[in-house]
Structure 1
């Protein structure tokens, strides 16, 4: 789910619950043996040539990258959809923020393992990509990244929203939109600029890094936008809105614009 952000400041609140190091997850003996056997490492996919100012995030840097995204998505209805639920109404803003950061740490680490995470500046802008023919749905990635903990960290309603509505909607929408090209596409899952990084053109560098490669390979690029201000920005990079989908379990429907960028002919560039 891709997004950029408006102008506001959020102070990140750390909690003991958000200090997990996925590389040191405590798991039952069988799962631990599996991890030792396969020795899952951040191998990811081939990285397009890196332009000046863009680099790949390492596993040791997942917290900094996640903190940037947490800042960028601090007021995003979709990101907080499984967190800000009626059965967590008694939670403080600090508790909800800590879970917000924690979830993005899991997601970021999973993309470091199986996708591509890039930054510009001192973690001023971050992009999470899933390259063609890649996904992070395998058992080992879920274990290693800590994503399995969401079964316990989310509330009952949060689990229903995340696992039975949100994830299936994203999966089915992408598949039905791209059809046979689903596995032959780049997927911009998240892109966000921190408060201190705005207005510097960082997001443009992160997007063009991959879209230039997609053009060379003749591949589409797919994203979901959760902020109504952003489709005009993405259109500047060649994306077009192809449909709109909705999350229905909250008091009001939460909207997602589905956007696809078709490959551009290199002869025209």
Structure 2
């Protein structure tokens, strides 16, 4: 039987935050952003909540029917940087979203802000695309193909609409998985200061 996928709604918010918190507690990038284990256990969920709210506002969260995995997708228009948005509808004004997230999540932790600025800096802006911001599978269910099913569902849509897709892999294992799904390393890695490497990856739509 195939994996059943649905679009998450407001009632799923707390579950999605919990899922992401558990899935990324030991992720290399999360461990870099929150280097102290005890502090990470207490604080990491706030960052996952900020991400969840941002995608509920501007994108879509896909959730497996059993609640074991989710994918956060954002539509990115051509030429639009990720991480800034108009402030109060005033043209030419932009909120400093990374700074606001840091203030809300962990004010004394500059890495909360820095990770957003660094990933924004390598994000391609020339063409409209679907951005896989995060994909998480709860511990104990990883390796069952749930993440692959979530990604393939969106990639099928991208192929039908002729839309590229983009993501940043946070581990060599993830990079290999995304390569099997048609993503290619852009050739410019992001080495976090004193931390792990991230691999920006781009996928051109496949012709029917």
Q: TM-score range by the shorter chain?
A: 0.7 to 0.9
| Counterpart for residue 197 of structure 1 | 141
Name which structure has the greater RCO, CA cutoff 8 Å, separation 6+. Answer: 1
| Counterpart for residue 23 of structure 2 | 72
1:190 deviates by: 0.2
1:153 deviates by: 4.0
Contact 1:59 1:109 in 2 (8 A): no
| Counterpart for residue 171 of structure 1 | 120
TM-score (norm 1): 0.65
1:67 deviates by: 1.2
Q: Which runs of 5+ in 2 are unaligned?
A: 89-94
1:96 deviates by: 2.3
1:110 deviates by: 1.5
Q: For residues 136 and 253 of structure 1, do their structure 2 counterparts lie closer, same or farther at Cα, with a shift above 3 Å needed? A: closer
Q: For residues 204 and 82 of structure 1, do their structure 2 counterparts lie closer, same or farther at Cα, with a shift above 3 Å needed? A: closer
Cα displacement string for residues 56-91 of structure 1 (whole angstroms, at most 9, x for unaligned residues): 11112111011111121121121233322xxxx6xx
- Name the SS of the counterpart of 2:167 in structure 1: strand
TM-score (norm 2): 0.82
- Name the SS of the counterpart of 1:67 in structure 2: helix
Higher strand share goes to which structure?
2
- Given the alignment of the two structures, is residue 238 of structure 1 paired with residue 189 of structure 2, yes or no? no
Cα displacement string for residues 20-48 of structure 1 (whole angstroms, at most 9, x for unaligned residues): xxxxxxxxxxxxxxxxxxxxxxxxxxxxx
Contact 1:68 1:194 in 2 (8 A): yes
| Counterpart for residue 131 of structure 2 | 187
CA distance in structure 2 between the aligned counterparts of 1:82 and 1:153, rounded to whole angstroms: 11
Contact 2:71 2:134 in 1 (8 A): yes
Contact 1:124 1:196 in 2 (8 A): no
RMSD: 2.5
- Given the alignment of the two structures, is residue 154 of structure 1 paired with residue 96 of structure 2, yes or no? no
- Given the alignment of the two structures, is residue 61 of structure 1 paired with residue 12 of structure 2, yes or no? yes
CA distance in structure 2 between the aligned counterparts of 1:119 and 1:81, rounded to whole angstroms: 27
Contact 2:19 2:136 in 1 (8 A): yes
1:208 is aligned, of 152, 155, 160, to 152
Q: For residues 215 and 106 of structure 1, do their structure 2 counterparts lie closer, same or farther at Cα, with a shift above 3 Å needed? A: same
Q: Which runs of 5+ in 1 are unaligned?
A: 1-50
Contact 1:83 1:154 in 2 (8 A): no
